[in-house]
A and B are shown apart, each in its own frame.
Chain A
Amino acid sequence: MTTADVLAPVVPVDEEARATPAWRTVLNTIEGRIGLAVGALMLLLIAFGRFFAPYSPNELGVGPRTQGPSAEHVFGTDSLGRDVLSRFLSGGDMILLVPLLSVVLAFLVGGGLGMFGGYRRGRADLVITRTFDLLLTLPPLLIVLVIIAGIGSSTAVLVVTAALVFVPRVGRLLRGATQAVVTNDYVAAAQARGERTAAIILREVLPNIAASAIAEFALRLTYAIIFVATLNFLGLGAQPPNPNWGLMVAEGRTYIAISPWATLLPAAGIAALSIATNLIADALTRHIARDTARGTVTL
Chain B
Amino acid sequence: MTTALQIDGLSVGYARADGSVNLVVKDVDLALEPGTILGLAGESGCGKSTSALAAVGYRSPGSRIVGGRSLLDGVDLLALPLAELRSLWARRIAYVAQNAATALNPALPIGRQLAQPLVRHLGLRGEELRARQLELLEQVGLPDPPGALARYPHQFSGGQQQRIAIAIALSCRPRVLILDEPTTGLDVTTQARISALLRTLVSETGVATLYVSHDLALLGTIADRMAVMYGGEIVEASSARAVTRRPRHPYSQALLGAVPSAHRPRAVAGIPGRPPSSVSLDACAFAPRCAHVVPDCTLARPELREIEADHVARCVRAEELAPQPNQGTVLAARTAAAPEPLLEVIDVCCEYRHRRTSHVVVRGVSLAVHPGETVGVVGESGSGKSTLLRAIVGLHAPSAGSIRLRGEELAPTAVKRPRAVRRELQIVFQNAESSLNPRHAVGDLVGRPVRLFRDDVARAEEPRAVAELLEAVKLPRSVANRYPAELSGGQKQRVALARAFAARPSLLLCDEVTSSLDVSVQATVLELLAELALQLDTAVVFVSHDLAVVRTIATRALVVRDGEVCEQGETERLFLAPSHPYTQELLSSIPEPAATSAA
| Interface set of A (CB-CB < 8 Å, partner B) | 1-3, 5-7, 10-14, 17-19, 184-186, 188-189, 191-196, 203-204, 207-208, 210, 295-296
Contacts and interface: CB of A to CB of B under 8 A. Distances in A.
Nearest to B413: A191
Contact of B485 (A6, A7, A203, A295): A295
Chain B interface extent, by class: 35 or more
Interface in B422-456: 422, 425-427, 429-431, 434-440, 448-449, 452-453
Contact of B479 (A11, A185, A195, A296): A11
A11 B285 CA distance: 18
Contacts of A204: 437
Contact of B422 (A5, A18, A188, A194): A194
A184 B125 CA distance: 47
Interface of B: 273-274, 276-283, 285, 287-288, 298, 390, 393-395, 414-415, 417, 419, 422, 425-427, 429-431, 434-440, 448-449, 452-453, 475-476, 478-479, 482-483, 485-487, 491, 499
A186 B436 contact: yes
Contacts of B430: 185
A18 B438 CA distance: 12
Given A11-B476, A191-B415, 10 more contacts: A1-B279, A3-B287, A3-B298, A11-B475, A184-B435, A188-B429, A193-B414, A203-B437, A207-B437, A208-B438
B476 A191 contact: no
A193 B422 contact: yes
A1 B486 contact: no
Nearest to A204: B437
A2 to B, nearest CB: 6
B485 A189 contact: no
A211 B436 CA distance: 18
25 contacts: A1-B277, A3-B280, A3-B282, A3-B287, A11-B487, A11-B491, A18-B486, A185-B430, A189-B427, A189-B435, A191-B414, A192-B394, A192-B427, A193-B422, A193-B448, A193-B452, A193-B453, A194-B417, A194-B419, A196-B415, A203-B437, A204-B437, A208-B437, A210-B439, A296-B483
Nearest to B425: A192
Nearest to B474: A10
B476 A10 contact: yes
Nearest to B286: A6
Nearest to B449: A193
A13 B415 contact: no
B288 A7 contact: yes
A293 to B, nearest CB: 12
A102 B430 CA distance: 43
B438 A185 contact: no
Nearest to B293: A3
A207 B288 contact: no
Nearest to A6: B288
Nearest to A8: B288
Given A3-B287, A7-B288, A185 B393 contact: no
Contacts of A5: 276
B486 A14 contact: yes
B491 A1 contact: no
A21 to B, nearest CB: 13
A296 B436 contact: no
A6 B276 contact: yes
Contacts of A2: 280, 282-283
Given A7-B288, A207-B439, A208-B439, A186 B434 contact: yes
A1 B415 contact: no
A211 to B, nearest CB: 10
